[in-house]
Amino acid sequence: MNKTKARTEWTFRGNGRLLGASAITVRGVLDRVMENLNRDDRRAVVPLGQGDPSSFPCFRTAQVAEDAVVDAVRSAEFNCYAPTVGILPARRAIADHLSRDLPYKLSPDDVYLTIGGTQAIEVIVTALARPGANILLPRPGYPCYVARAALCGLEVRYFDLLPNRGWEVDLERMEDLADANTVAMVIINPGNPCGTVFSYQHLKEIAETARKLGIMVIADEVYDHLAFGDTPFVPMGVFASITPVLTVGSLSKRWIVPGWRLGWVATNDPNGFLKDTGVVESIVGFLNVSPDPTTFVQAAIPQILERTNEEFFLKVLRMLREGADICYDKIQEIPCLACPKRPEGSMFAMVKLNSSLLEDIEDDLDFCVKLAREESVLVLPGMALGMKNWLRITFAVEPSSLEDGLERMKAFCHRHVKKQHTGSIRSLEQYCNL
């Protein structure tokens, strides 16, 4: 009897490290905003929160990519498990693909296939999380790194991206931030959430700073080549002779197939700095205890990388440039919002919210919640990215939908602007310009 009673005091508990995890992911915060959508609004929801344009017909992936996957399934040769690091033809195709932009050649052994860029982040962060270590992350940044570091017990330190310097990295402060236990810094280029593309010179300075600190650079290039402004995309691997670089890549964004779940880690290390550090062995160790990306998607990689035609990429770039321009120009017309820089890459713009001009809006989260409720428009509050009173807007949306969404945001702001200001909207706009 006593024994049974004792058993009702359960021994198990949820993992404390996971309890707060949803609060610091894009999906978790957007779910909170989405709970406020008004079901009675007959208008379509305009999704400017998550960067996933795959549901718009104008963003459909390349036909050769679809054919490659279908062929791989139909061949019945890829119903098997794959090797832990990925199948050789796929690794070779990715190595060749990346090498086209590098001053040295990657070998298939430098490439590890992962379940999207997300698992690539998990692999790298876990591989580096020795006790006491810390990692430098950009603010604003991509919350997945924060969540993953928290799960591994890796300390996070933030460096700023500077809005008044075109969102470049605050390199001057980096040296104060790092110490002997700092292992790496993360650079996202083209940038999520700022839509920036770093110049060759700035990337070189980043590599030199990392070298000085004795740390590696983790280059998140899941938006590689999605650069449509004046600054061309340069992979961080170009500077890997200065400091070692681990590149995070993915099919998700450039081919607009985030559901295919295929990404990679590439080790860029022509001088062999990583030798004897155990980093590569840790990556392989991690992959050995993890599931692999779907084998038939791996098998489709060579065809996808070698045969996707230039027209597809140009069309995507044209759509993104058009979206970025619509977004940037429209924001100029909205009181209380300001965008410090016209986006040149990726799928996002960071927009400053001046909530003091609004009557009943407390902060960015409140803005997004009420915008969802009143206008059925979804936008990500900056607090999810470590930037209170900013908003992240994706412009990778079918143009008429994007215009509709921004028009509704404008109506929303006009409706909520403080009454004593309604007569002077023009000067308010000027006031908001950073």
Ligand X SMILES: *Cc1c(COP(=O)(O)O)cnc(C)c1O
- Rule CB under 6 A: which residues touch ligand X? 116-118, 142, 188, 192, 220, 222, 250, 252, 258, 263
Closer CB to ligand X, residue 244 or residue 263? 263
Closer CB to ligand X, residue 52 or residue 110? 52
The answer to whether residues 80 and 295 touch, using CB atoms and an 8 Å cutoff, is: yes
The answer to whether residues 350 and 193 touch, using CB atoms and an 8 Å cutoff, is: yes
Closer CB to ligand X, residue 273 or residue 296? 296
Which residues are registered as beta bridge partners of 377?
46
**Distance separating alpha carbons of residues 146 and 24, to the nearest angstrom:** 8
The tokens describing 18, both together, are 């996971």
**Distance separating alpha carbons of residues 83 and 288, to the nearest angstrom:** 9
Q: 116: buried, middle or exposed (CB in 10 Å: 19+, 13-18, 0-12)?
A: buried
Closer CB to ligand X, residue 220 or residue 292? 220
**Distance separating alpha carbons of residues 356 and 124, to the nearest angstrom:** 41
Closer CB to ligand X, residue 87 or residue 194? 194
- Which residues in 287-363 belong to E strands, given as ranges? 337-338, 348-353
Closer CB to ligand X, residue 166 or residue 258? 258
**Distance separating alpha carbons of residues 74 and 58, to the nearest angstrom:** 27
CA-based nearest residue to 189, from 145, 231, 147, 134: 231
The answer to whether residues 381 and 33 touch, using CB atoms and an 8 Å cutoff, is: yes
Question: CA 254, 260, 265: angle at the middle one, nearest 5?
Answer: 65
Question: CA 180, 186, 190: angle at the middle one, nearest 5?
Answer: 155
Kindly state the smallest distance separating residue 249's Cβ from ligand X, in Å.
9
Kindly state the smallest distance separating residue 261's Cβ from ligand X, in Å.
7
Kindly state the smallest distance separating residue 1's Cβ from ligand X, in Å.
53
Kindly state the smallest distance separating residue 248's Cβ from ligand X, in Å.
6
Closer CB to ligand X, residue 246 or residue 338? 246
**Distance separating alpha carbons of residues 365 and 372, to the nearest angstrom:** 11
Q: Helix 364-375 to helix 26-34 angle, to the nearest 10 degrees?
A: 50
Closer CB to ligand X, residue 247 or residue 250? 250
Kindly state the smallest distance separating residue 252's Cβ from ligand X, in Å.
3
- Measured over the CA atoms of residue 124, residue 142, residue 31 and residue 405, the dihedral's sign is negative
